[in-house]
Amino acid sequence: MTDTIAPRLALAKELAQEAGQLAQRMRAQQDGSFSREKGHQDFVTEADVAVETLIRQRIAAAFADDGLLGEEEGHSGSDNALWVVDPIDGTTNYMRGLADWGVSIAFCRDGRVELGVIYAPDLDLLVWARREQGAYIGENPARTAEGTPLDQAVLLLGRSARTSVDDYLSLLKRLIESGLEYRRNGSAAISLAAVALGQVDGFYEAHLNAWDAAAGLLIVEEAGGRSDCGDLDAFLSGGGPVFASAAGLHHEIGALLSVGAEAD
């Protein structure tokens, strides 16, 4: 049987790096019209649009029958063979010269994510996975943290303007009282990569869109962790809560977060 995922993975790895380097060049050449505000503290830059256009063109040239769901231009084409792309995840970080931003590319077929690639240009970090074949940093295996006690764990958090401030503050209170440390870096993709690499023990955000997290969720799973985003079709169409962690802490952290079956 022909392996149809391998050429897509090769393209995704090449394209994520090419796209990230384009974004770096455009940032270096920016002027006053480089960005505009979509919502409160939610920005889009000329680079977001240019990077997604590049990715769309390259994928269409290589796999004309595939569909694509992207942050800037929405959904086009097939649902059964679907690329899910965030051209720049962490746009505010990118604009301000912070390193935690990256290109996120996933490919889904028949209701499951088959590959995920995250490239962080300022960190020179390429993290990727293929379903049932493991996760990698460059060409070296990536593994989530193991054996961390809850009171020594570190959780990365996202904050969505689409969710309640009171709920977020209540969550912070529970985390502080538990002894669990938390950080917020402004990029779901980079946060999920950090979980996969064992740099932190988990990541949670109450609402993300599929392009923010589809690649990272698979990478965490293939690195030995666990991830939750609910039903994939619903997540692709409207987003939802995202929780990923080292396997050994999934129940304990999930209970603190009051998410999924872990909260029962």
Length of the chain: 264
Give the pLDDT confidence of 154-169 residue by residue, as tens digits: 999 999 888 889 999 9
Domain range summary for the chain, segments of one domain joined by +: 5-141, 150-263
| pLDDT for res 182 | 94
Instruction: Indicate the pTM of the whole model.
Output: 0.92
pLDDT tens digits, 38-78:
544 344 688 889 999 999 999 999 999 999 999 877 788 77
Q: Which pLDDT tens digit goes with each residue over 97-156?
A: 999 999 999 999 988 999 999 999 999 999 999 999 999 999 999 999 998 999 899 999
Give the number of other CB atoms < 10 A from CB of residue 169. Answer: 9
**How far, in Å, CA of 233 to CA of 240, rounded?**
11
31 is in an annotated binding site: no
88 is in an annotated binding site: yes
Q: Please indicate if the annotation marks 176 as binding a ligand.
A: no
| Nearest CA-CA partner of 144 in 194, 215, 203 | 194
Structural fold of domain 150-263: D-Maltodextrin-Binding Protein; domain 2 (3.40.190)
The two structure tokens encoding residue 228: 């939750």
The CATH superfamily holding the domain 5-141 is: Fructose-1,6-Bisphosphatase, subunit A, domain 1 (3.30.540.10)
Q: Residue range 2-21: average pLDDT?
A: 97
Q: Provide the β-strand partners of residue 81.
A: 109
Average pLDDT score, the chain:
91
Confidence of residue 183 (pLDDT cuts 50, 70, 90): very high
